[in-house]
Amino acid sequence: MIPEDIFEMQAAGRGTPEKAQFAALARRAGFHLAGVAPARPLEDYTIYNQWLKDGLAGPLGYLSDHRGALRADPRGLLPAARSVLCVGLLYNTPGPEAHTVSRYAWGAADYHDLLRASLKSLVEELLRAWGTFEYRIAVDTAPLLERSLARQGGLGWIGRNTCLIHEPLGSWFFLGEILVSVELPPDSPPPDRCGTCRRCIDACPTAALVEEPGGRTRLDARRCISTWTIEQRGPLGEEQRAASGGLLFGCDICQEVCPWNRRAPYSTEPGFQPLHPDPDLAELSAMPEEEFRGRFRRTPLWRTKYAGLLRNAATAMGNSGDAGYIPALRRLIEEAGDEAVSEHARWALSRLEARA
């Protein structure tokens, strides 16, 4: 649970009754962070655009599609926007120290659905409090630089791991935005408190966090295990397979080693409580597609699709060194209807047989 005084501290000095109402109603809607950013062109867009031009997005084509230029200015989504109401929803929950699934995907809920419902509830309360205004709700599927907006709204700074970090609550947050035609005094970005710490950079097993001159860090998505296991389709290169280790879906290493997450509080949201932080790989590899749809359809794990999850399970089995997975891999080679899955299973089997 987050202490009430943390939220009250954030709400202090909001400057107008409307901002105080927003903070109070955001808390009532279940959010743990709240702040206001101006709806104007973002200076960070230049950095973001250069990141795209340098090819660091890798296979994340949705970041550079026809909507890419909209990220330069929130008013591209809502021309009447004057302010952006930024909120954060904690998703950290207790779970096993060793896990193969990224923390945000442990629960039964798709965070998009939960965030959108909470934002809609907040808008309804604001309409009752402020009267009619134009608005647009956004979650991470919208073409917004949401971390930059959250930083401008005072929710935290963007750390060396490229995540938004709040002092003292850490980085385990989903972010959401409401673009409104109401002009509110903006909050101020907090100072960067990473200091000289570089634990996330040093801990990344694939060197995906690249230090640039001047101390800035950029994420090379082409090297990121989360990209490989969630977004990248088809077979992975053998070097990528070996570097993925036992991770099945995503990677949290750069957040887990962050000192600001040592005392991160836990969410009590039922939809985020852990159901499958560390699935049995052999069982998963034998799962029929119909069962996959029924079990994961409304969860983040749906993102990787059935073939992607089987491919990742085969990779993790191959990296485990456990000869007990050999029968599961042989079966997967015979029964897989996807060439990438078969290729990964053959690779994994050869590794285990060589060790045996």
Q: What is the pLDDT of residue 68?
A: 85
> At 185, which amino acid appears?
P
Report the chain's mean pLDDT, rounded to a whole number: 94
Look at residue 9 and tell me whether its pLDDT is greater than 70. no
Look at residue 11 and tell me whether its pLDDT is greater than 70. no
Q: What is the pLDDT of residue 331?
A: 96
Range with the lowest mean pLDDT among 8-17, 47-56, 192-201, 227-236? 8-17
Q: Which residue has the higher pLDDT, 323 or 1?
A: 323
pLDDT digits (tens, 9 = 90+) for 110-162: 999 999 999 999 999 999 999 999 999 999 999 999 999 999 999 999 999 99
The pLDDT > 70 percentage for the chain reads: 96
Over range 75-93, report the average pLDDT.
98
Query: Measured at the alpha carbon of residue 78, what is the angle toward residues 76 and 82, in degrees to the nearest 5?
Result: 105
**What pLDDT band is residue 336 in, cutting at 50, 70 and 90?**
confident
Q: In 3D, which of 176, 155, 158 has the Cα closest to residue 111?
A: 176
**What pLDDT band is residue 14 in, cutting at 50, 70 and 90?**
low
Q: What is the pLDDT of residue 10?
A: 58
* Ramachandran sector of residue 134 (left: φ over 0; alpha: ψ -120 to 50; beta: rest): beta
Q: What is the pLDDT of residue 317?
A: 98
Report the half-sphere exposure of 299 (CA within 13 A, side-chain side): 24
pLDDT digits (tens, 9 = 90+) for 29-66: 999 999 999 999 999 999 999 999 999 999 999 998 88
Q: Residues 238, 242, 245, 250: what is their CA dihedral angle, to the nearest 10 degrees?
A: -30
3-class DSSP state for residue 297? coil
Look at residue 86 and tell me whether its pLDDT is greater than 90. yes
Q: What is the pLDDT of residue 13?
A: 47
Query: Rounded to the nearest 10 degrees, what angle do helices 289-296 and 305-320 cross at?
Result: 100
Q: What is the pLDDT of residue 8?
A: 53
Q: Which residue has the higher pLDDT, 215 or 124?
A: 124
pLDDT digits (tens, 9 = 90+) for 225-282: 999 999 999 999 999 999 999 999 999 999 999 999 999 999 999 999 999 899 999 9
Q: What is the pLDDT of residue 296?
A: 93
pLDDT digits (tens, 9 = 90+) for 285-305: 999 999 999 999 999 999 999
Q: In 3D, which of 1, 10, 155, 171 has the Cα closest to residue 84?
A: 155
pTM assigned to the model = 0.94
Q: Which of 140, 278, 322, 338 is catalytic?
A: 140
**What pLDDT band is residue 328 in, cutting at 50, 70 and 90?**
very high
For the chain, what are the domain ranges?
Answer: 4-180, 206-244+279-355
Residue 140 annotated in active site: yes
3-class DSSP state for residue 158? strand
